[in-house]
């Protein structure tokens, strides 16, 4: 979302702040809704198109979908005091007051970095220390700016751009003259590709043409208008939908991306097979030489000594011919071996060439499909997806199990039934992952995907609370939960689904983190 669009939404919020609020509400792991006394703030944090909107309506209360959402519910519990934007950047801060209650919570700040594919939500305390975040940024991702719980929050690097609401016509003219509209995001604060397109369409100018003085003079009033009313101008020019339609559009883009990847993968396979046909042709071209060597061996057969590994002979035209032989075979046997190799090469060539026309046709068809993917309707996308996204037997879908993200950024899998318990424990989990189960109660297997790292105990507690919640002890106050490395969990042959043995386990007593709905209650052991 572009800076001017964010600023426009914040202007709608200013008269309402500070504001008492209702409890956080979540539509999914990426849609955060903060109800106020009037309306609600909607934050959509999934890359590559994060969005902020102030809307008069709000969804019904529901459950959380990630550990970070659980953290927000617990920590960002006070009134919303203010929302500030850094310049016209895509970074804003939501400041929450302390909350009094049975357990008091101090003031916190939620930082929303709505920066395309690198978007993130970060919760900090009054000293700018990170309490939790939606997506951890480690050193291997960004060696200049790490984002992890326990570190001090570092804002994105500063920049120098003209503020279109405050800069003079002369300043704007100097910056724009000789530049292209597609470069606007590098020159004018708050502008990105969408608003640059809006300005280009409104002005009737191409994005990639260098602006001359006359065009700049005509452009300035429109630039002021877009800066003052960015969403209305963008809707008029681009007919962009609101945040709900955007979610559907993003889902379509994700499906197109997966399909594009699958089609390109198939394209590479076809190209490799066509290369193999060329190799088969080249190999078959050498069949005549192999037969020639075999004929010479047959002619000298009686003269060669047994167990010969290499021999120099003269062919039928008197030319020297060096041959490597299998010492286990006599001359006739070696000759027959060469005849057989020549025959196989020619046979492989015939087989390969019989498929060539079909492969070329499919390759051409896939090339056209890749070029026209963006124009396809949903039904056509579904049809192609069924054809190219079919998973091979034995491959388990990533959606198996309920998935949570701990406040420390680790993925936690929860089985929903006995069959899924077996799959996440024995198919998805690795030997160094952590396995958890409520002690003495039927319930879900829970696995923390450790990614080869040493797990913080806070993550183990987070997963243990889930294991307690997704068990028959979910209504209790103090539930024992066993945990052990996955390599110490095994299944006895013939045991029913979900039944396991464990060793070297430890036990922790926890309060269940949430109560599963009736649809989520487990029937496993």
Q: Is pLDDT of 241 > 70?
A: no
Task: Quote the CA–CA distance of 162 and 225 in Å, as a whole number.
Answer: 16
| pLDDT band at residue 275 under the 50/70/90 scheme | very high
For residue 3, the model assigns a pLDDT of 92
Task: Quote the CA–CA distance of 466 and 475 in Å, as a whole number.
Answer: 12
- Predicted confidence (pLDDT) per residue in 146-170, tens digit: 999 999 999 988 889 999 999 999 9
Q: Is pLDDT of 523 > 50?
A: no
| pLDDT band at residue 234 under the 50/70/90 scheme | confident
Q: Is pLDDT of 53 > 50?
A: yes
Average pLDDT, the chain: 86
Q: Is pLDDT of 352 > 90?
A: no
- Predicted confidence (pLDDT) per residue in 286-300, tens digit: 888 888 988 888 888
pTM value?
A: 0.49
Half-sphere exposure (Cβ direction) of 90: Cα atoms closer than 13 Å:
20
Instruction: Please state the rounded mean pLDDT for residues 308-316.
Output: 86
In sequence order, the β-bridge partners of residue 147 are 137
Furthest-apart CA atoms within the chain: distance in Å: 106
For residue 315, the model assigns a pLDDT of 85
- Predicted confidence (pLDDT) per residue in 442-474, tens digit: 999 999 999 888 899 889 999 999 999 999 888
| pLDDT band at residue 515 under the 50/70/90 scheme | very low
Which residue do the tokens 């491959």 mark?
Answer: 395
For residue 391, the model assigns a pLDDT of 52
Q: What are phi and psi of 370, to 5 degrees?
A: -65, -40
Higher pLDDT residue, 489 or 494? Answer: 489
Q: Is pLDDT of 519 > 90?
A: no
For residue 202, the model assigns a pLDDT of 84
For residue 251, the model assigns a pLDDT of 64
**Nearest Cα to Cα of residue 469 among 524, 433, 515:** 515
Task: Quote the CA–CA distance of 44 and 56 in Å, as a whole number.
Answer: 16
**In 3-state terms, what secondary structure has residue 77?**
coil
Q: Token digits for 304?
A: 């060669």
On whether the CB atoms of residues 279 and 348 are closer than 8 A, the answer is: no
For residue 260, the model assigns a pLDDT of 85
For residue 250, the model assigns a pLDDT of 54
293-298 contacts, C-beta under 8 A, 24 or more apart: 293/321, 293/323, 293/338, 294/334, 294/335, 294/336, 294/338, 294/339, 294/342, 295/335, 296/321, 296/323, 297/323, 297/331, 297/332, 297/334, 297/335, 297/338, 298/331, 298/332, 298/335
Instruction: Please state the rounded mean pLDDT for residues 398-419.
Output: 84
Task: Quote the CA–CA distance of 467 and 510 in Å, as a whole number.
Answer: 10
pLDDT > 70: percent of the chain:
92
| pLDDT band at residue 392 under the 50/70/90 scheme | very low
């Amino acid at each position: 979302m572009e800076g001017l669009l964010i600023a426009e939404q914040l202007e709608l919020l200013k008269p309402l702040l500070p504001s008492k609020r209702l409890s956080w509400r979540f539509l999914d792991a990426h849609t955060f809704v903060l109800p106020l006394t009037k309306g609600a703030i909607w934050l959509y944090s999934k890359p590559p198109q994060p969005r902020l909107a102030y809307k008069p309506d709000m969804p019904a209360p529901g459950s959380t979908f990630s550990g970070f959402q659980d953290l927000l519910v617990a920590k960002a519990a006070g009134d919303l005091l203010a929302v500030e934007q850094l310049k016209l950047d895509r970074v804003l801060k939501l400041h929450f007051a302390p909350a009094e209650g049975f357990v008091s919570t101090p003031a916190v700040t939620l930082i929303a970095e709505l920066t395309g594919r690198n978007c993130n939500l970060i919760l900090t305390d009054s000293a700018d220390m990170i309490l939790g975040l939606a997506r951890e940024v480690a050193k291997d991702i960004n060696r200049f700016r790490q984002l992890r719980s326990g570190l001090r929050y570092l804002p994105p690097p500063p920049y120098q751009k003209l503020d279109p609401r405050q800069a003079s016509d002369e300043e704007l003219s100097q910056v724009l003259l000789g530049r292209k509209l597609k470069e606007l995001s590098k020159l004018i604060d708050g502008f990105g590709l969408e608003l640059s397109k809006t300005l280009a369409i409104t002005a009737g100018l191409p994005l990639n043409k260098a602006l001359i003085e006359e065009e700049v003079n005509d452009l300035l009033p429109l630039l002021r208008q877009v800066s003052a009313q960015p969403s209305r101008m963008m809707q008029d020019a681009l007919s962009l939908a609101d945040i709900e339609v955007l979610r559907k559009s993003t889902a379509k883009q994700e499906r197109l991306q997966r399909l594009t990847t699958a089609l390109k993968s198939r394209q590479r396979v076809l190209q490799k097979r066509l290369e193999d046909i060329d190799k088969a042709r080249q190999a078959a071209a050498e069949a005549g030489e192999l037969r020639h060597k075999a004929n010479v061996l047959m002619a000298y057969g009686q003269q060669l000594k047994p167990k010969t590994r290499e021999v120099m002979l003269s062919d039928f035209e008197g030319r020297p011919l060096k041959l490597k032989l299998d010492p286990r075979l006599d001359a006739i046997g070696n000759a027959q071996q060469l005849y057989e190799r020549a025959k196989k090469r020619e046979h492989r060539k015939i087989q390969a060439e019989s498929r060539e026309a079909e492969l070329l046709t499919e390759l051409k068809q896939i090339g056209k499909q890749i070029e026209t993917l963006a124009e396809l309707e949903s039904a056509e996308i579904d049809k192609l997806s069924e054809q190219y996204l079919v998973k091979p037997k034995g491959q388990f879908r990533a959606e198996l199990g309920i998935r949570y993200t701990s406040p420390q950024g680790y993925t936690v899998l929860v089985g929903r039934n006995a069959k899924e318990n077996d799959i996440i424990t024995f198919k998805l989990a690795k030997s160094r992952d952590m396995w958890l189960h409520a002690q003495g109660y039927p319930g879900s297997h829970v696995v923390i995907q450790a990614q080869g790292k040493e797990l913080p105990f806070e993550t183990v507690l987070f997963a243990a609370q889930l294991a307690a919640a997704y068990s028959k002890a979910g209504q209790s106050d103090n539930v024992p939960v066993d945990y052990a490395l996955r390599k110490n969990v095994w299944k006895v042959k013939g045991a029913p689904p979900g039944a396991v043995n464990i060793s070297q386990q430890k036990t922790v007593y926890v309060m269940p983190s949430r109560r599963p709905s009736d649809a989520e209650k487990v029937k496993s052991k």
